[in-house]
Amino acid sequence: MTEPKIELEEQETKGRLFSRNDDGSVAEVTFSRAGDTMMIIDHTSVPDAFRGTGMGLALVRQAVEYARERGIKILPLCPFAAAQFKRHPEWADVLKQQGQDG
Q: Which three-class secondary structure state does DSSP give residue 79?
A: helix
C-alpha–C-alpha distance, residues 9 and 30, integer Å? 10
**3-state DSSP call for residue 63?**
helix
Query: Mind listing the pLDDT tens digit for each residue in 44-94?
Result: 999 999 988 999 999 999 999 999 999 999 999 999 999 999 999 999 999
Query: Is this model's pTM higher than 0.75 or not?
Result: yes
- Per DSSP (E only), the strands in the chain are 7-10, 14-20, 26-34, 38-45, 73-76
Domains and CATH numbers, the chain: 7-93 (3.40.630.30)
pLDDT at position 51 is 86
Q: How is residue 1 annotated by DSSP? A: -
